């Protein structure tokens, strides 16, 4: 009997993480990077991975400030370049607060450690894609969208008026709802269990 051999199965968390990570290939990540740096910040895309460039929180705070400027908001996020982890994590947290206020749903946000410790990169990418949709909805002329745009809820079409012959005093029509003027199985000659003539 051999012990110490790990079974060839994965946990549900690992399976879900692999599924999420599979959604974002390098091309999709490059699109997000270009959206942030070239389209919004008008800066050159830095070398290295997207997560490394966002980890300090500086780029995210700049991004939030650009989006707020378009709405003519004055309460901009104050940020600073720092190597101290708690300062960087606080700046990421400020960006997440901004996203909530901007309208991004809670279930589309990421946790600070998802970015800072790269626990769940896919949730970071998904949140940024979602932010692009909300920015595009507010200012389609200023901010391009990553992926599909947000759906616009259309008003329900008006319900047609019932014809006069179907309108009763109570609004309930016996003809419309199948009233047969007192007909029953007995009065119609329907008998179960016997043969009936089909001639």
Residue 118 lies in a domain: yes
Residue 173 lies in a domain: no
Residue 97 lies in a domain: yes
Residue 155 lies in a domain: no
Provide the pLDDT for residue 171.
56
Question: How many domains is the chain partitioned into structurally?
Answer: 1
Q: Which of 31-35, 83-87, 188-192 has the lowest mean pLDDT?
A: 188-192
Residue 7 lies in a domain: no
Of residues 111 and 168, more confidence is placed in: 111
Residue 167 lies in a domain: no
CATH of the domain at 125: 1.10.418.10
Residue 67 lies in a domain: yes
For residue range 128-157, list pLDDT tens digits in order.
Answer: 999 999 999 989 888 888 877 777 778 888
Query: Where in the sequence is the domain holding 21, given as residue range(s)?
Result: 13-138
Measure the CA–CA gap between 68 and 126, rounded to whole angstroms: 20
pTM: 0.67
Asked if residue 110 has pLDDT above 90, the reply is yes
Residue 105 lies in a domain: yes
Asked if residue 32 has pLDDT above 80, the reply is yes
Provide the pLDDT for residue 172.
58
In this structure, what is the dihedral angle of CA atoms 110, 115, 121, 126, given to the nearest 10 degrees? 40
Measure the CA–CA gap between 146 and 128, rounded to whole angstroms: 9
For residue range 42-94, list pLDDT tens digits in order.
Answer: 999 888 888 899 999 999 999 999 999 888 776 688 888 888 989 999 999 99
Provide the pLDDT for residue 96.
94
């Amino acid at each position: 009997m051999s012990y110490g051999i790990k079974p060839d199965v994965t946990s549900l968390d690992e399976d879900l993480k692999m599924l999420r990570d599979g959604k974002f290939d390098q091309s999709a990540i490059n699109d997000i990077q270009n959206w942030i740096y070239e389209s919004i910040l008008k800066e050159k895309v830095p070398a290295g991975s997207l997560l490394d460039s966002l980890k300090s929180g500086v780029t995210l705070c700049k991004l939030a400030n650009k989006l707020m400027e378009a709405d003519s908001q004055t309460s901009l996020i104050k940020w600073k370049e720092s190597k101290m982890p708690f300062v960087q994590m606080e700046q990421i947290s400020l960006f997440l607060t901004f996203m909530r206020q901007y309208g991004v749903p809670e279930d589309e946000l990421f946790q600070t450690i998802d970015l800072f410790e790269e626990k769940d990169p896919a949730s970071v990418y998904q949140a940024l894609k979602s932010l692009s949709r909300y920015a595009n909805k507010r200012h389609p002329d200023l901010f391009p969208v990553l992926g599909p745009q947000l759906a616009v809820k259309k008003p329900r079409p008006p319900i047609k008026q019932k014809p006069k012959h179907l309108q009763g005093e109570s609004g309930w029509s016996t003809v419309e709802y199948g009233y047969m003027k007192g007909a029953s199985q007995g009065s119609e000659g329907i008998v179960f269990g016997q043969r009936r003539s089909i001639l």
